[in-house]
Amino acid sequence: MRVDIKQNKIAAYIFLSLLGLVMVYPLLWLFASSFRTNQEIFTSLGLIPGELVTDAYARGWQGSGQYSYGTFFINTFLMVIPTVLGTIVSSALVGYGFARFRFPFKKLLFILMISQLMLPNAVIIIPRYILFRSLGWLNTYLPFIVPAMFATYSFFIFMMVQFIRGIPKELDESAYIDGCNSFTIFTRIMAPLLKPALFSAGIFQFIWRWNDFLNPLIYINSVKKYPLSLALRMSMDITDAISWNQLMAMSLLTMIPPILIFFFAQRYFVEGITTTGLKG
* pLDDT tens column, 203-260: 999 999 999 999 999 999 898 999 999 998 888 766 667 788 888 999 999 999 998 9
The pLDDT value recorded for residue 280 is 41
CA atoms within 13 A on the CB side of 138: 11
Same domain, 9 and 100: no
Lowest mean pLDDT among 19-28, 50-59, 140-149: 50-59
Same domain, 113 and 174: yes
The pLDDT value recorded for residue 269 is 72
Percent of the chain past pLDDT 90, that is, above it, reads 38
Same domain, 185 and 48: no
Same domain, 48 and 68: no
Q: Which of 15, 35, 53 is the last residue of a domain?
A: 53
What average pLDDT does this structure show over 58-72?
A: 87
Same domain, 47 and 30: yes
Domain count for the chain, please give it. 2
What average pLDDT does this structure show over 91-102?
A: 92
Mean confidence (pLDDT) of the chain: 87
CA dihedral 79, 84, 89, 95 (to 10 degrees): 130
pTM: 0.86
The pLDDT value recorded for residue 240 is 65
Same domain, 17 and 87: no
* CATH of residue 233: 1.10.3720.10
Same domain, 33 and 86: no
Is a pLDDT exceeding 90 seen at residue 170? no
Same domain, 116 and 233: yes
Q: In the chain, where do the E strands start and end?
A: none
User: Which residue range is the domain that position 12 belongs to?
Assistant: 2-53
Same domain, 137 and 26: no
Query: Which residues lie closer than 8 Å to 27 by C-beta, 6 or more apart?
Result: none
Q: How far apart are CA 207 and CA 256, in angstroms?
A: 11
Q: How far apart are CA 242 and CA 206, in angstroms?
A: 29
Same domain, 244 and 131: yes
The pLDDT value recorded for residue 205 is 93
pLDDT band, residue 126 (cuts 50/70/90): very high
Is a pLDDT exceeding 90 seen at residue 271? no
Q: How far apart are CA 159 and CA 165, in angstroms?
A: 10
The pLDDT value recorded for residue 173 is 87
Backbone angles phi, psi at 199, to 5 degrees: -65, -40
pLDDT band, residue 277 (cuts 50/70/90): low
What average pLDDT does this structure show over 11-28?
A: 89
Same domain, 218 and 90: yes
Same domain, 49 and 98: no
Q: How far is CA 207 from the centre of its chain?
A: 2
AA identity, residue 176: Y
